[in-house]
Amino acid sequence: MGSSSSSYAPKTIYLDVDGKVQKVIFSRHCSPCDIRELLCSSSNIPRNTAIMLVDPEGALVSIDPTMPANSPRNLYKVMPLCSGQLGEKEDMFHNVLSQVADQFSRAFRINELKTEVTNRLAMLEKRVELEGLKVVEIENCKKDLKKLRDEMTTRTGGRVSCTCKYNFSDDETIEALKKPTFDVWHWEHNEMLSCLEYMYHDLGLVKEFNMNPITLKRWLLGIQENYRSNPFHNFRHCFCVSQMMYGMIHLCNLQEKLTLTDMGILMTAAVCHDLDHPGYNNTYQINARTELAVRYNDISPLENHHCAVAFQIISLPECNIFANVELEVFKQIRQAIITLILATDMARHGEILDSFKQKVDNFDFTNEEHVRCLKMVLIKCCDISNEVRPTEVAEPWVDCLLEEYFLQSDREKAEGLPVAPFMDRDKVTKPTAQIGFIKFVLIPMFETVMKLFPQELKQIDDAMTEVPRNSSSSVLLCPRMSPVTRLQRGDVSRCGLTPIPHLPRRPSHLLGPDFYSSPHT
């Protein structure tokens, strides 16, 4: 990934074949053996004949992908070598190699297998594309049915006696996906991919940007494949941040305040915000003078890299979810996504938060600069939102982050680089790692956002402190005080556990999770 299209450009040479110009085109990645066979075929010379290539002045030209190109006025000529020009060992080697190749091809029916595999892949791709188009139709039908059911409930005073067996129980999972109480640890990669796909359909982004549903699936697969297996900065963290962004959109009623384009920018930036994270932060990149630090002049090297990888994936035709967007609109979307991903560099935290604080008391949703600043703050909130989740969801993330910190500090010690105290396994503890971050970063950030959405974000407290009627299947959470309330009061202890309902584990309502584990993708 990341190779420029020019590296795959074919090479063209021109031959003199019996007084006629013969044009020969081959890939720069062909082997010399492949090129020799192509030259033999073009010059009507038997296959596997030893040949040499000469220019008009009789000079020998190397037969390999790096050979100099010529023009129709400066023709090369292919000449067979007489048997006396080859040593006996070379002659024998070519003959044996030719026989082995022919026998291998006959024995394993290579050409037939290639044709069969190509045909089967084409059939599978067509089938997947047709099934992908059904996803949109089925989701629209489900929404129409739900709307009809709600209308019937309203007209009959809430009493519906319907004999149909359509299952609406999956609404529980759909609603859970919109809340910060969602347990991100219960999901496998293909299930998380299906959840992300559902979010794009549910928010209307697939329709707004005229996305091909199969392209959306391929894009999400490309995203997942480009997150590394770090303890913290991995695909599950990507999903965690994206799910929180989806939840914030619903909790804060952003559909009524922002455009669909803005929501597409928020979701896509969240999905891409840590692509190909190497597990070592910007401080290490700069101190170690890594390739990324040199490339980006020590200016947010990781965040610039995440942006670059994101748009390398989108540049692939099979993964371009914005392929049907007008060029000028795409330029605006691209610039906005870059702005949001660069905003996740914690070195810019104070600058961004101060800018938002100056606007929040007189915030204007019709002001582009105000909205741009809000989007930057929203992605920052989602990126550091682990501590506003239930205890059993938030706690494992602390262990993951410390493990990644310790791996970095161990490497810094081995390389003689400066080590941050909060990353040193010999100095840091879980309480000290959390308290400073929560007190000086998390609380000021969420308090400022709650000024803009006081009633909406109060729902987080209500959702967190909900008491179940049946606690037989439950997880644990601090009583009477949600994570947001604990942050406001500066209480970072985690004690006094009370059960709340366990969230559904599998996305049984989502369509196509098997797509993400199928070999044909």
Helix (H) or strand (E) run with residue 499 in it: strand 498-501
Is 236 annotated to bind a ligand? Reply is yes
Is 235 annotated to bind a ligand? Reply is yes
CA dihedral of residues 102, 106, 111, 116 (deg, nearest 10): -170
Is 434 annotated to bind a ligand? Reply is yes
> Is 233 a residue of the active site?
yes
- Pick the closest to residue 72 from 28, 32, 12 (CA basis): 12
CA distances from 450 to 73, 158, 188, 381, 410 (A): 74, 35, 32, 11, 39
Is 70 annotated to bind a ligand? Reply is no
CA distances from 222 to 270, 305, 319, 378 (A): 15, 16, 7, 25
Is 370 annotated to bind a ligand? Reply is no
Is 94 annotated to bind a ligand? Reply is no
Is 232 annotated to bind a ligand? Reply is no
Contact partners, residue 445, CB within 8 Å, separation at least 6:
353, 377, 380, 381, 384
CA dihedral of residues 474, 480, 482, 488 (deg, nearest 10): -170
Contact 180, 385 (CB under 8 A): yes
- Burial label for 152, CB within 10 Å (0-12, 13-18, 19+), is middle
- Active site residue: 94, 189, 233, 509, which one? 233
Is 324 annotated to bind a ligand? Reply is no
Is 29 annotated to bind a ligand? Reply is no
d(CA 17, CA 36): 15
Q: Which residues pair with 131 in a beta bridge?
A: none
Structure tokens at 133: 């188009």
Structure tokens at 226: 């480009």
Tell me which amino acid residue 422 is: F
Active-site annotation, residues = 233
Annotated binding site for Zn(2+): 237, 273-274, 383
Annotated binding site for AMP: 233-237, 274, 383, 434
Annotated binding site: 233-237, 273-274, 383, 434
